[in-house]
């Protein structure tokens, strides 16, 4: 393909809270460059065509997790989504599903920010070692056990892809549960019990019906669906244990 | 967020029709109804056998009814879907490790089909003895 092969249409969802009662569509034509991503196209629109268009981005390299949008109906990082893959277009660009829209392509992720600390995504120790005793050591195998789940960039694509979260906003959701699993699997952590108390609730892991779409859209191969199913096994084991064993043996 | 008028997009009742993966998911959930039907069917058959030859003949007549045959065929299709989708999901739910290394997903899935074949062969052997 030549460097520039004409133009491609962008069909962008717009919502201006001060004037619009609901979102509408606006069409833009942008140059179809082989190396351009959807985010590049949006920046082109903002810089050259329509400075009122609002969207979030920062790193342009799949690290910050702020550029997530629904592209042709699928949640994606727009900085890693190439225009050429959607030729001849037009490409539909919408704010991430399942979140309230603040303006144009910007969504309000407060709900996730409220939920995240509930799963205690930090290392919990029964007793902290003193600094003099040195660091907590970890073998490469112990690191491998949780590394995949630690790659999450909080991009919220998995929440946008999850119909359970869309229908029941109380559901803790994929990334938060994957992060709980990340700390549970960390050899330095002793907080599994505390996290289970939160996740064993109906809005915890049992809300998930294993659609699996979260794993499919995750740009970092975190596999939140896998984390949730493993958590279910763990929760079920604990429930059976609680039923069968006397208190002291648990 | 305080002071900002956000817009909540309504979710259509038909959210699952537009995307293949959502559609397969809803069909997979629906398949449990047909699994339940096959269990009822099996129980009816066992009850008929227990009541004697006449009752069993009645059951066979019921089973040959075109409506029942169609329901059973649809049920079979859903059972196949149920089996394939759930077998496919097993490696996600279970972190199987052998000698400390994760077992590849394909091996986990394949082992379930092997199990299915073994059990089926045993059942065939049992009834055709
Ligand atoms: S689990 Fe994946 S899709 Fe979900 S927030 Fe983390 S990186 Fe994004
Ligand atoms: S801009 Fe940072 S992930 Fe896309």
Going along chain B from its start, the domains and CATH numbers come out as 15-128 (1.20.1300.10)
Q: For residue A185, count other CB atoms closer than 10 A to its CB.
A: 20
The answer to whether residue A1 is domain-embedded is no
Say if ligand 2 is within 6 A of residue A109 CB: no
How confident is the model at residue A94, as a pLDDT? 97
How far, in Å, is the centroid of ligand 1 from the Cα of A159? 8
Integer Cα distance of B63 and B58 in angstroms: 9
pLDDT at A3 over 70: no
Integer Cα distance of A217 and A214 in angstroms: 5
The answer to whether residue A2 is domain-embedded is no
pLDDT at A198 over 90: no
For residues A183 and A121, the answer to whether their CB atoms sit within 8 Å is yes
- Residue B53 forms contact with A (CB below 8 Å): no
- Residue B21 forms contact with A (CB below 8 Å): yes
**A17: closest CA of chain B, how far (Å):** 6
Split at pLDDT 50, 70, 90, the class of B1 is low
Split at pLDDT 50, 70, 90, the class of B8 is very high
How far, in Å, is the centroid of ligand 1 from the Cα of B128? 53
- Contact flag B1-A225 (C-beta cutoff 8 Å): no
The pTM (predicted TM-score) of the whole model is 0.88
Tell me what the mean pLDDT of segment B89-100 comes to.
79
Q: What percent of chain B clears pLDDT 70, i.e. is strictly above it?
A: 98
In this structure, the answer to whether residues A94 and A158 fall within a common structural domain is no
What six digits make up the tokens of A98? 């399942």
Chain A residues within an 8 Å CB radius of B25: 163, 209, 211-213
At what angle are helices A224-244 and A192-199 packed, to 10 degrees?
100
**A152: closest CA of chain B, how far (Å):** 18
The answer to whether residue A203 is domain-embedded is yes
For residues A56 and A39, the answer to whether their CB atoms sit within 8 Å is no
Tell me what the mean pLDDT of segment A149-156 comes to.
96
Split at pLDDT 50, 70, 90, the class of B2 is low
- Contact flag B95-A230 (C-beta cutoff 8 Å): yes
Tell me what the mean pLDDT of segment A116-144 comes to.
91
pLDDT at B11 over 60: yes
The answer to whether residue A191 is domain-embedded is yes
In this structure, the answer to whether residues A87 and A36 fall within a common structural domain is yes
CATH number for the domain harbouring residue A156: 1.10.1060.10
Q: Which of A100, A211, A229 sits opposite B8 (nearest CB)?
A: A100
At what angle are helices B53-64 and B66-93 packed, to 10 degrees?
80
Q: Which domain holds residue A244?
A: 110-249
pLDDT, tens digit, for every residue of B16-45?
998 999 999 999 999 999 999 999 999 999
How far, in Å, is the centroid of ligand 2 from the Cα of A111? 21
pLDDT at A249 over 80: no
Integer Cα distance of A8 and A70 in angstroms: 17
The answer to whether residue A44 is domain-embedded is yes
- Contact flag A73-B89 (C-beta cutoff 8 Å): no
pLDDT at A2 over 50: no
For residues A164 and A208, the answer to whether their CB atoms sit within 8 Å is yes
Tell me what the mean pLDDT of segment A52-64 comes to.
96
Q: Between residues A48 and B2, which one has the greater pLDDT?
A: A48
How confident is the model at residue A78, as a pLDDT? 97
The answer to whether residue A230 is domain-embedded is yes
Last residue of a domain, one of A67, A90, A107: A107
In this structure, the answer to whether residues A157 and A194 fall within a common structural domain is yes
Integer Cα distance of B114 and B37 in angstroms: 26
The answer to whether residue A162 is domain-embedded is yes
pLDDT at B100 over 90: no
Q: To the nearest whole number, what is the mean pLDDT of chain A? A: 91
In this structure, the answer to whether residues A148 and A101 fall within a common structural domain is no
Domains in chain A: how many in total? 2
Distances in whole angstroms, Cα of residue A222 to Cα of each of A59, A155, A214, B47: 20, 12, 9, 49
Last residue of a domain, one of A107, A137, A157: A107
For residues B39 and B25, the answer to whether their CB atoms sit within 8 Å is no
Last residue of a domain, one of A62, A90, A107: A107
How confident is the model at residue A128, as a pLDDT? 86
The answer to whether residue A159 is domain-embedded is yes
Mutate to test the interface with B, among A25, A94, A100 (most CBs of B within 10 A): A100
How confident is the model at residue A31, as a pLDDT? 95
Split at pLDDT 50, 70, 90, the class of B99 is confident
Q: What percent of chain A clears pLDDT 90, i.e. is strictly above it?
A: 72
């Amino acid at each position: 393909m030549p460097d520039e092969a004409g133009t491609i249409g962008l069909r962008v969802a717009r919502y201006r809270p001060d004037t619009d009662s609901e979102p509408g569509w606006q069409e833009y034509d942008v140059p179809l460059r082989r190396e351009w991503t959807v985010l590049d196209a949006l920046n082109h629109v903002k810089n050259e065509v329509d400075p009122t268009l609002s969207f979030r981005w920062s790193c342009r390299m799949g690290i910050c997790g702020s550029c997530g949008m629904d592209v042709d109906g699928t949640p994606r990082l727009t900085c890693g989504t190439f225009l050429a893959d959607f030729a001849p277009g037009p490409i539909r660009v919408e704010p991430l599903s399942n979140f309230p829209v603040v303006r144009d392509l910007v969504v309000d992720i407060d709900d996730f920010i409220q939920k995240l600390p509930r799963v205690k995504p930090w290392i919990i120790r029964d007793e902290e070692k003193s600094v003099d005793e040195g660091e907590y050591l970890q073998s490469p195998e112990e690191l491998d056990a949780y590394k995949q789940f630690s790659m999450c960039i909080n991009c919220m694509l998995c929440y946008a892809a999850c119909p359970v979260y869309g229908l029941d906003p109380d559901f803790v959701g994929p990334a938060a549960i994957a992060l709980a699993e990340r700390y549970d699997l960390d050899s330095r952590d002793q907080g599994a019990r505390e996290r289970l108390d939160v996740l064993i609730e109906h809005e915890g892991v049992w809300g998930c019906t294993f659609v699996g779409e979260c794993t499919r859209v995750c740009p970092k191969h975190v596999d939140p669906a896998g984390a949730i199913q493993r958590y279910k096994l763990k929760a079920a084991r604990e429930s059976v244990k609680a039923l069968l064993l006397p208190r002291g043996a648990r | 967020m305080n002071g900002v008028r956000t817009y909540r997009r309504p979710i259509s009742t038909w959210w699952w029709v537009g995307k293949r993966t959502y559609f397969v998911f809803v069909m997979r959930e629906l398949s449990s109804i047909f699994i339940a039907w096959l269990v009822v069917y099996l129980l009816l058959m066992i009850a008929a056998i227990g009541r004697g030859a006449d009752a069993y003949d009645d059951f066979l007549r019921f089973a040959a009814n075109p409506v029942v045959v169609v329901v059973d065929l649809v049920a079979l299709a859903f059972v196949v879907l149920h089996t394939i989708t759930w077998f496919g999901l097993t490696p996600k739910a279970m972190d199987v490790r052998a000698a400390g290394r994760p077992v590849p997903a394909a091996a986990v899935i394949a082992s379930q089909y092997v199990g299915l074949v073994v059990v089926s062969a045993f059942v065939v052997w049992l009834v055709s003895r």
